């Protein structure tokens, strides 16, 4: 899996997960447990990963949603 974006913002994470799900693109949120271990202070960002063959479609979706500055 390839990193699509990295953020500390839980709203952005939820929004992106929802967009990807609606588009039929599977994703995995990495580093959730690390975020919990550091006390949920928002210091450690979480990453959204997608399958390599879906990466371009996912990037296009993020750009269309106005999140081009978030895309890796």
Q: What is the pLDDT of residue 5?
A: 94
Q: What is the end-to-end Cα distance of the chain in Å, rounded? A: 13
User: CATH assignment of 2-64?
Assistant: 3.30.70.790
Residue-level pLDDT at 15: 96
Q: Which residue has the tokens 């929004």?
A: 15
- Residue 42 confidence (pLDDT): 61
Q: With 70 as the cut, is the pLDDT of residue 60 above it?
A: yes
Boundaries of every domain in the chain: 2-64
* Gap between the Cα atoms of 67 and 44, Å rounded: 20
Over residues 2-50, the pLDDT tens digits come to 999 999 898 999 999 999 999 999 999 998 877 566 665 667 889 999 9
Backbone angles phi, psi at 54, to 5 degrees: -105, 0
Cβ burial of 53 (10 Å; 0-12, 13-18, 19+) is exposed
Q: Which residues are CB-neighbours of 59 under 8 A, at least 6 positions away?
A: 4, 71
């Amino acid at each position: 899996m390839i990193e699509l974006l990295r953020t500390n913002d839980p709203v952005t994470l939820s929004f992106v997960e929802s967009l990807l799900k609606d588009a039929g693109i599977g994703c995995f949120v990495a580093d959730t447990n690390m975020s919990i271990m550091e006390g949920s202070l928002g210091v450690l960002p979480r990453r959204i990963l997608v399958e390599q063959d879906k990466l371009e479609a996912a990037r296009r979706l993020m750009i269309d949603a106005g999140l081009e500055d978030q895309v890796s």
